């Protein structure tokens, strides 16, 4: 039981980090970024290249992956989202196409075989018989540090308050002098950074391969739908619900069924409570 609790806590923190970058875009831009999983894919491969191919220090490689994700988010906003502003369907289809293009680029550069990422921090600690990999513990701690820093940024800074204003009423924010385009670009940059860093942690937890972006995208969609589209608090709570339930299903039933639980939960919530457990909430 202790092993389940520990694994649930470690996985839930990672799921929260994955999902919050996805729901952040919807809260402010009102679009589903279907290329969000590509941030994780690029982040994972960036870490693999810099840390395991050219020998950069691992923590520095995580930072570089985050910077690349940030740049990808900004470019996506400038080249896709801004020109298609107002056409949400076109934006969502374009972002999905971009994810497929990035997957193909990864195959061309790195091949289609899966790769194992070396632990960011090697070693395992045992607590009452429960094995805790230092790398997974580091990922969970860093996930919560990042989430807390994001919360403080949104609640305490001028740009954070501008993000809240755009989230509540984009037109009203523009009338009051807030540059909505700048707010949206920074939001996409933050989302890209969060996604890329989460990709390093996710690939370390599982494996790195070109199709890796699909699983975290499904996780993000599941957490956001169940929690309530746009609800940051709902996202954090449901990330823990899904994380713990997946560990329980994997431990006591079968590892192959952990994804099935998530899909069934999405369908049930869509049928019984389309607004999600916590409804719609602004930043």
Q: What is the DSSP string of 71-134?
A: HHHHHHIIIIITTTTT-HHHHHHHHHHHHHHHHHHHHHHH-SS-BPPPPSS--EEEETTEEEEH
**Residue 126 pairs with which residues in a beta bridge?**
131
Full-model pTM: 0.88
Quote the pLDDT of residue 231. Answer: 65
Q: How far apart are CA 111 and CA 190, in angstroms?
A: 29
Best CA proximity match to 58, nearest among 137, 121, 13, 110: 121
Averaged pLDDT of the chain: 84
Own/partner long-range contacts of 166-169 (Cβ < 8 Å, ≥24 apart): 166/28, 167/27, 167/28, 167/230, 167/282, 167/283, 168/282, 168/283
Among 67-71, 181-185, 228-232, 259-263, the minimum mean pLDDT is found in 228-232
Cβ count near 11 (within 10 Å): 23
DSSP letter at 30 equals -
Residue 283 has pLDDT above 70, yes or no: no
Q: How far apart are CA 185 and CA 103, in angstroms?
A: 23
**Confidence band for 75, pLDDT divided at 50, 70 and 90:** very high
* Residue written as token pair 């940030």: 70
Per residue in 16-71, pLDDT tens?
888 888 888 888 877 888 889 999 999 999 999 999 999 899 989 999 999 999 99
Cβ count near 164 (within 10 Å): 17
Q: How far apart are CA 222 and CA 217, in angstroms?
A: 8
Cβ count near 55 (within 10 Å): 9
pLDDT cut 90: percent of the chain above it: 29
Quote the pLDDT of residue 88. Answer: 83
Q: Quick check: 43 and 65 in contact, CB under 8 A?
A: yes
Best CA proximity match to 190, nearest among 249, 149, 236: 149
* Residue written as token pair 């090697």: 122
Q: Quick check: 154 and 163 in contact, CB under 8 A?
A: yes
Quote the pLDDT of residue 60. Answer: 93
More confident residue, 119 or 57: 57
Quote the pLDDT of residue 229. Answer: 62
Quote the pLDDT of residue 117. Answer: 86
Among 104-108, 161-165, 251-255, the minimum mean pLDDT is found in 251-255
Quote the pLDDT of residue 129. Answer: 66
SS3 letters across 85-96: CCCHHHHHHHHH
What does the pLDDT average to over 233-240? 80
* Residue written as token pair 């202790």: 2
Residue 95 has pLDDT above 80, yes or no: yes
**Confidence band for 73, pLDDT divided at 50, 70 and 90:** very high
What does the pLDDT average to over 90-112? 92
Q: How far apart are CA 190 and CA 152, in angstroms?
A: 14
What does the pLDDT average to over 204-217? 88
Q: Quick check: 196 and 88 in contact, CB under 8 A?
A: no
Quote the pLDDT of residue 207. Answer: 85
Q: Quick check: 184 and 28 in contact, CB under 8 A?
A: yes
SS3 159: helix
């Amino acid at each position: 039981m202790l092993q389940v609790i520990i694994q649930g806590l470690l996985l839930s923190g990672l799921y929260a980090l994955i999902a919050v970058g996805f729901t952040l875009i919807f809260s402010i831009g009102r679009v589903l970024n279907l290329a969000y999983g590509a941030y994780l894919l690029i982040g994972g491969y960036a870490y693999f290249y810099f840390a395991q191919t050219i020998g950069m220090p691992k923590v520095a490689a995580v930072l570089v992956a985050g910077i690349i994700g940030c740049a990808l988010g900004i470019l996506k906003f400038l080249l896709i989202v801004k020109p298609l502003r107002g056409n949400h369907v076109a934006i969502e289809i374009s972002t999905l196409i971009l994810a497929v293009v990035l997957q193909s680029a990864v195959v061309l550069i790195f091949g289609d075989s899966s790769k194992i990422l070396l632990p960011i921090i090697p070693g395992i600690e045992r607590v009452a018989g429960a094995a805790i990999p230092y790398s997974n513990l580091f990922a969970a701690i860093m996930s919560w540090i990042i989430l807390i820093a994001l919360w403080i940024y949104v609640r305490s800074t001028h740009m954070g308050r501008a993000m809240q204003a755009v989230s509540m009423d984009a037109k009203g924010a523009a009338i009051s002098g807030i540059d909505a385009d700048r707010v949206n670009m920074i939001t996409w940059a933050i989302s890209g950074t969060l996604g890329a860093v989460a990709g390093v942690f996710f690939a370390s937890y599982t494996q790195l391969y070109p199709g890796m972006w699909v699983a975290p995208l499904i996780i993000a969609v599941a957490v956001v739908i169940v929690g309530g589209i746009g609800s940051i608090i709902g996202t954090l709570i449901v990330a823990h619900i899904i994380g713990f339930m997946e560990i329980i299903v994997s431990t006591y039933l079968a590892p192959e069924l952990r994804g099935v639980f998530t899909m069934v939960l999405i369908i049930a919530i869509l049928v019984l409570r389309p607004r999600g457990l916590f409804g719609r909430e602004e930043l």
